[in-house]
Amino acid sequence: MVGCHGLHGVRSENGQCFVELCASNNMVITTTLFPHKDIHKNTWVSPNTHTKTHIGHVAVCGKFRRSILDTRAFRGADVNSDHHLVIAKI
């Protein structure tokens, strides 16, 4: 299941495969369930800082969906990294 709070845009072929994998295994993509500002949804930023996307996800079995309190990306202090840490609160 995909929630309504993901980043808007075109889903890549790999993204579509991930959604289908989760759907066929009764899994929930928790990074799309909670409303957050876009800066807390972006998990990757291009070197020129113009392209931002959501490539890090947390997926859980559907029966544990209610155990997840929040999931979001945290921009780290490491300025040398273009990836952001994704944390789920259980």
**60 in Cβ contact with 27 (< 8 Å):** yes
5-56: pLDDT as tens digits: 566 666 788 888 988 999 999 999 888 788 777 777 777 777 777 777 777 7
User: Does 4 have pLDDT greater than 70?
Assistant: no
Q: Which amino acid is at 25?
A: N
User: Does 78 have pLDDT greater than 70?
Assistant: no
**3 in Cβ contact with 19 (< 8 Å):** no
